[in-house]
C-alpha cells in the first residue's frame, strides 16, 4: 500500500491473491523467505509515453500510453491493449497482475503484460483512430517483439485497431513479423476462433462447473452484461448449449428480451454499425430497454455472466441476484465483481467461476495464434475450438486440484489463484533472484 498509494484496483487485485495464498505459505514458508511475493507484485518494467495525434479538424491532442511488462518467467509478456478514458496506472497494473496467473493457468509459454491509453475511441472517425494507432505504435514498437512482448486487443481495441497497429509496426521494422500482435483479422495472420474465444471459453468453464453439480446450461435463464466482444460470444455459446439468454447491456443501459436475445442483431448493432444497445428496440419492439446499465443485475436469472468491465457488480447487485435465486456466476470480464460481492456469493453457496480462470480462453487462443504464426500455418475454426475446449477443461481441473490440495475443496477462486501462483513462483525460484 505504501509503495502503490491510490492504486485502488491494483491493491484490490493483490489483496484477493494474498488471501488465497495463506494456506500455501503455511505449508511452504520458503516462498516467503525467498521474497517471491514482493518480487511478484513489482512489475519488471513499466513504460509510459506521450501519444500526440491530430484530429480531422487539425487540432492536436495528447494522450498517455502505457505498457506494463509485469512478468516474463513463463514466456514473452502477453496481454491486451485497452483504449478507454478511464485507463490509468492502477488499472493497467491490476490487469497485468491478473494476467500473470491467468496466463500461467493456460499452461502455455506466455508471460504477462497489459497496456493501452486514456484515449476514448467513441465518436472518433476511422482516420482519427488510424492516426492515433500509428502514433501509439511509433513508441510502443521499441518495447515489443514476437519473442519479447506480444500485445493484443481489449476494451476499445478490436481487429480494426490491431490492423492499424500492425501496419505501423511493419512499416517501422521494415519487415513482416506476424507474431508481434495477436487478435489480427484471420485474413492477414489472425487465428480463426480468436474473436469467439474469450466468450466461448467463459461458457465452457461455467459448463464444467455446473457439471460438477449435475447441472447444465440447458433451459437456464442467463443474463450477460456488456455487448462487446466477450459478451456477444458468451451469449452465442450459452444459447448454443440450450440456455435462454434474456438480457445484455452497454455503458448506457440494458435490454431485456424474454424471447431470447437475437445475437445476430446485437452483432450487427455493435460489431458492424457501432450503435447503442437501445437501438435493439427498433427491430424488437417486444423487448424492453432501461436506462441504467447496472440495473441488468435486477433481472431474475439462473446464471449471471458479467462480461463488461472491472467492479461492475457490487455488493448490492450481488444481494439482488441472490434474492432472485441465481445459481452460478461466471466472470467473463476482468475483476467484474467487487471483493464484497465475491464474499457474499461464497457465503451463500453460489457457484462462482473467477475471471483468471474463466476468461483465460482468449489469451489461450492468442498463444495459439502465436504458434500458428511461428509455424506459418493455419488451423481450422473447429481445430481451434477443440483446443480451446481442452484448455478450459484443464484449467478447471487445475483449479479444483489446487483448492482441494490446500484445504478449500470446490473453491475455484482460491484454486485459480493458487494454481496460477505455483506455476509462476516455481519458475521464479528456478531462474534465481531477479
Site for ligand NDP, residues 61 to 100, rule: CB under 6 A: none
Contact call for residue 193 and ligand NDP (CB under 6 A): no
Q: Which of residues 351-380 bind ligand NDP (CB under 6 A)?
A: 359, 362
Instruction: Give the x-and-dash track for 105-144 against ligand NDP (CB under 6 A).
Output: ----------------------------------------
Q: Stretches 143-151, 211-219, 221-229, 380-388: which one binds ligand NDP (CB under 6 A)?
A: 221-229
Interface with ligand NDP by CB under 6 A: which range of 66-74, 260-268, 303-311, 417-425?
303-311
> Minimum distance from CB of 246 to ligand NDP (Å)?
16
3-state secondary structure the chain: CCCCCCCHHHHHHHHHHHHHHHHHHHHCCHHHHCCHHHHHCCCCEEEEEEEEEECCCCCEEEEEEEEEEEECCCCCEEEEEEECCCCCHHHHHHHHHHHHHHHHHCCCCCCEEEEEECCCCCCCCHHHHHHHHHHHHHHHCCCCECCCEEEECECCECHHHHHHHHHHHHHHHCCCCHHHCCCCCHHHCCCCCHHHHHHHHHHHHHHHHHHHCCCCCCCCEEEECCCCHHHHHHHHHHHHCCCEEEEEECCCCEEECCCCCCHHHHHHHHHHCCCCHHHHHHHCCCCEEECCHHHHHHCCCCEEECCCCCCCECHHHHHHHHHCCCCEEECCCCCCECHHHHHHHHHCCCEEECHHHHCCHHHHHHHHHHHHHHHCCCCCHHHHHHHHHHHHHHHHHHHHHHHHHCCCCCCHHHHHHHHHHHHHHHHHHHCCCC
Kindly tell me which residue out of 250, 302, 317, 369 binds ligand NDP, with binding defined by CB under 6 A: 250
Q: Quick one: 26 exposed, middle or buried, by C-beta within 10 A (0-12, 13-18, 19+)? A: exposed
**Shortest distance, position 31 Cβ to ligand NDP, whole Å:** 27
CB of 160 to ligand NDP, least distance (A): 12
* Contact map string, positions 152 to 191, toward ligand NDP, x by CB under 6 A: -xxxx-----------------------------------
- Between 229 and 417, name the residue whose CB sits nearer to ligand NDP: 229
Inter-residue contact 54 to 41 (CB < 8 Å): no
Contact between 309 and ligand NDP by CB under 6 A: the answer reads yes
CB-nearest residue to ligand NDP: 228
Nearer to ligand NDP, 308 or 413 (CB): 308
* Count of residues engaged in binding ligand NDP, rule: CB under 6 A: 26
Instruction: Determine, following the binding rule CB under 6 A, whether residue 420 of this chain makes contact with ligand NDP.
Output: no
Torsion of CA 219, 222, 227, 232, to 10 degrees: -40
Q: How far is the CB of 141 from ligand NDP (least distance, A)?
A: 22
Work out how close the CB of 229 gets to ligand NDP at its nearest, in angstroms, rounded to a whole number.
4
Is 114 catalytic? The answer is yes
Q: Give the residue with the Cβ less far from ligand NDP, 83 or 345.
A: 83
The interface region with ligand NDP, picked from 11-19, 127-135, 307-315, 420-428 by CB under 6 A, is 307-315
338 binds ligand NDP (CB under 6 A): no
- Minimum CB distance to ligand NDP, residue 83 (Å): 9
Active-site option among 78, 93, 102, 114 = 114
When the beta carbons of 296 and 428 are compared against ligand NDP, the nearer one is: 296
Residues that bind ligand NDP (CB under 6 A): 153-156, 198, 225-231, 249-252, 293, 307-309, 312, 332-334, 359, 362
- Report, as residue numbers or ranges, the catalytic residues: 114
Amino acid at each position: 500500500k505504501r509503495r502503490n498509494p491510490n492504486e485502488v484496483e491494483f491493491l484490490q487485485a493483490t489483496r484477493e491473491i494474498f488471501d488465497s495464498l495463506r494456506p500455501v505459505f503455511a505449508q511452504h514458508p520458503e516462498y516467503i523467505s525467498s521474497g517471491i511475493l514482493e518480487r511478484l507484485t513489482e512489475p519488471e518494467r513499466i513504460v509510459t509515453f506521450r501519444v500526440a495525434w491530430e484530429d480531422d479538424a487539425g487540432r492536436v491532442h495528447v494522450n498517455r500510453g502505457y505498457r506494463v511488462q509485469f512478468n516474463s518467467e513463463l514466456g514473452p509478456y502477453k496481454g491486451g491493449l485497452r483504449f478507454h478514458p478511464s485507463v490509468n496506472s492502477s488499472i493497467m497494473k491490476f490487469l497485468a497482475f491478473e494476467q500473470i496467473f491467468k496466463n500461467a493457468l493456460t499452461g502455455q509459454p506466455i508471460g504477462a503484460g497489459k497496456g493501452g491509453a486514456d484515449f476514448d475511441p467513441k465518436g472518433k472517425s476511422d482516420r482519427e483512430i488510424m492516426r492515433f494507432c500509428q502514433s501509439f505504435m511509433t513508441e510502443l514498437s521499441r518495447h515489443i517483439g514476437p519473442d519479447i512482448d506480444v500485445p493484443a486487443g481489449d476494451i476499445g481495441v478490436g481487429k480494426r485497431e490491431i490492423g492499424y497497429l500492425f501496419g505501423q509496426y511493419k512499416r517501422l521494422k521494415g519487415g513482416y513479423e506476424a507474431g508481434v500482435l495477436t487478435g489480427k483479422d484471420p485474413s492477414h495472420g489472425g487465428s480463426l476462433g480468436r474473436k469467439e474465444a474469450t466468450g466461448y471459453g467463459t461458457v465452457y468453464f461455467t459448463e464444467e462447473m455446473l457439471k460438477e453439480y449435475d447441472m447444465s446450461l440447458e433451459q437456464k435463464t442467463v443474463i450477460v452484461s456488456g455487448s462487446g466482444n466477450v459478451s456477444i460470444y458468451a451469449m452465442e455459446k450459452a444459447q448454443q448449449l440450450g440456455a435462454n439468454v434474456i438480457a445484455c447491456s452497454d455503458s448506457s443501459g440494458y435490454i431485456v428480451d424474454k424471447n431470447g436475445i437475437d445475437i445476430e442483431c446485437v452483432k450487427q448493432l455493435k460489431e458492424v454499425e457501432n450503435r447503442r444497445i437501445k437501438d435493439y428496440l427498433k427491430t424488437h419492439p417486444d423487448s424492453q430497454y432501461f436506462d441504467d446499465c447496472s440495473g441488468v443485475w435486477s433481472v431474475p436469472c439462473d446464471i449471471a455472466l458479467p462480461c463488461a468491465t472491472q467492479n461492475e457488480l457490487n455488493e448490492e447487485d450481488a444481494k439482488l441476484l441472490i434474492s432472485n435465486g441465481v445459481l452460478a456466476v461466471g466472470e467473463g470480464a476482468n475483476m467484474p465483481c467487487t471483493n464484497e460481492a465475491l464474499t457474499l456469493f461464497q457465503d451463500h453457496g453460489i457457484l462462482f467461476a473467477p475471471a483468471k480462470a474463466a476468461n483465460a480462453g482468449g489469451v489461450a487462443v492468442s498463444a495459439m495464434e502465436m504458434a500458428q504464426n511461428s509455424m506459418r500455418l493455419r488451423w481450422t475454426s473447429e481445430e481451434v475450438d477443440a483446443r480451446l475446449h481442452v484448455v478450459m477443461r484443464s484449467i478447471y481441473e487445475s483449479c479444483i486440484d489446487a483448492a482441494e490440495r490446500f484445504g478449500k475443496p470446490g473453491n475455484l477462486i482460491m484454486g485459480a489463484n493458487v494454481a496460477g501462483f505455483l506455476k509462476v513462483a516455481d519458475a521464479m525460484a528456478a531462474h534465481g533472484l531477479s
